Amino acid sequence: MGKVRTHKSVAIVPFWRDIRVLRILAQLAFLMVVIAILLWAISNYRARGLIFGYSFLSKEASFDLAEGIPFKPTDSYARAFLVGVVNTVRVAVIGIILATLLGLVTGIARLSRNWLLRKIATVYIEIIRNTPLLVQLFFLYFAVIMKLPRLSRAIVLAGPVYISNRGVVIPWLRLAESFRLWWPFLLLAAAWAGVLIVIRRRTIRRVGRPGINLLWVFSCLIAVPVLGWLLIPGNPLRFDLPDLVTRSGGVITVDGGVTLSSEFTAILTGLVIYTAAFIAEVVRAGIQSVPKGQAEAARAQGFTNRQILRLIVLPQALRVIIPPLISQYLNLTKNSSLAIAIGFLDLYAVSQTMLNQSGRVVEVFLMIMGSYLAISLTISLIMNIINKRIQIVER
């Protein structure tokens, strides 16, 4: 009996109906549109007699900046732009740290069994989240900080710390002459701690438990610098305490310490209060994502509420908290551009002055976008590394 061969017919799809071909054609069409727009923009730019370039950055800025790293009107545009970048990074870094701490405390308070504490946290979150940040900044600057007493009648706190409508003056650490003899001890402590951490990780991989306690790592970070402090002559660091001084003509100024201007204080306080309200909700959602049975089991084992929160709930909640936390950090960084409304010399405010002086609109805005992009990508990279390290590794 002969075998019957069957041939399956293969339908040939026309290329204009092939989804793979259509995807490639769509991407090519989009690329052509982008190139056409860029060519049109370049031709329009040249038609106006303009030349694209950054040679203007080496020219004299001819304006003064009262906030940030040292700057003189005779310095270049590049130096002025650096002042703005440093001011923005300073606000972003300090703001992220303080907003995280305030948001963590508020988020935990939001779940507290104490009725008053829980309601205070709820009212704070709802008010801050439902009012515009710009309005809050105006209120903080004009209705709070500008209404503080003058420097001659400044509010004095322990430290001393002077609070007035010209800002906040706080004590600050200064490097002494003997610091050059002390910093090698800091490097030695960091290197020693790094070696102990590597040994600890290798031991965990080999035997499944750490051979070196983390206490030893922190001990060497403290013991070696303290030893260096005792061995070298003089103090490598000194506290520079502020003091009110009356100059000739009755002008009152502050000598010593570091001064946080009223504009810096307003933008930092506003960003911290605003972002912390959103972080608090992220923390609350992360804590509530941990199964209640784990806390009940720990309580049955005799753990206190503080131990349950610190050792069991928060470590697991971090896996849920960190991804949305990245977005809040990026929002804080980008929202710092609102500082121009209260006169703080951040990246955008300084760039606006550069633009008005030089007339280089395209170049300056590309620098602004590139700087914010670089700062945001750096924050995302750091947080993604942290997020990857705390995720559960499935075997």
The CATH number for 289's domain is 1.10.3720.10
CA distance 285 to 283: 5
Which residue range is the domain that position 331 belongs to?
Answer: 77-154+260-390
Alpha-carbon distance of 229 to 189, in angstroms, equals 13
* The predicted structure's pLDDT at residue 28: 93
Looking at the fold, whether 142 and 207 belong to one and the same domain comes out as no
Statement: residue 281 has pLDDT above 70: yes
142 and 267 belong to one structural domain: yes
Q: What is the pLDDT of residue 394?
A: 45
Domains of the chain: total? 2
| Residues 149 and 264 grouped into a single domain | yes
Residue 341 within any structural domain of the chain: yes
| 111-146 exposure pattern, b = at least 16 Cβ within 10 A, e = fewer | eeeeeeeeeebeebbeebeeeebeebbbebbeeebe
275 or 363, which is more confident?
275
Please tell me whether residues 218 and 272 are part of one structural domain: no
Same domain, 219 and 266: no
User: Is residue 240 in some structural domain?
Assistant: no
**Do 135 and 280 share a structural domain?**
yes
Whether 287 and 373 share a structural domain: yes
Residue 118's pLDDT is 93
For residues 377 and 285, membership in a common domain is answered with yes
Band the pLDDT of 395: cuts 50, 70, 90: very low
In a domain, 267, yes or no: yes
Position 240 scores a pLDDT of: 85
Residue 185 and residue 321 in one domain: no
Q: How far, CA to CA in Å, does 340 sit from each of 131, 133, 231, 254?
A: 19, 13, 49, 26
- Mean pLDDT calculated for residue range 316-338: 91
Q: Which two tokens stand for residue 350?
A: 């300084």
Q: How confident is the model at residue 392 (pLDDT cuts 50, 70, 90)?
A: low
Whole-number percent of the chain with pLDDT over 90: 43
Query: Has residue 362 been placed in a domain?
Result: yes
Beta bridge pairs of residue 255:
243
Task: Give the H or E element holding residue 282.
Answer: helix 262-288
- In the predicted structure, residue 308 carries a pLDDT above the cut 70: yes
- What digits encode the pLDDT tens for the residues 2-24? 454 544 555 676 777 778 888 88
Distance in angstroms (rounded) separating the CA atoms of residues 204 and 340: 51
Asked, for residue 195, whether it belongs to a domain, the answer is: yes
Domain stops at, among 213, 231, 249 = 231
Predicted pLDDT of residue 10: 55
Beta-strand runs (E) in 137-291? 155-157, 161-164, 167-170, 172-175, 237-240, 243-246, 252-255, 258-260
22/41 Cα distance (integer angstroms): 29
Mean pLDDT calculated for residue range 336-342: 92
pLDDT for res 8: 52
User: What average pLDDT score do residues 252-264 get?
Assistant: 88
Please indicate, yes or no, whether residues 104 and 191 belong to a single structural domain of this protein: no
Judge if 192 and 317 occupy the same domain: no
Predicted local distance difference test score (pLDDT) of residue 310 = 79
Residue 202's identity, in one-letter code, is R
Do residues 270 and 380 both lie within one domain? yes
The DSSP 8-state label assigned to residue 114 in this structure reads -
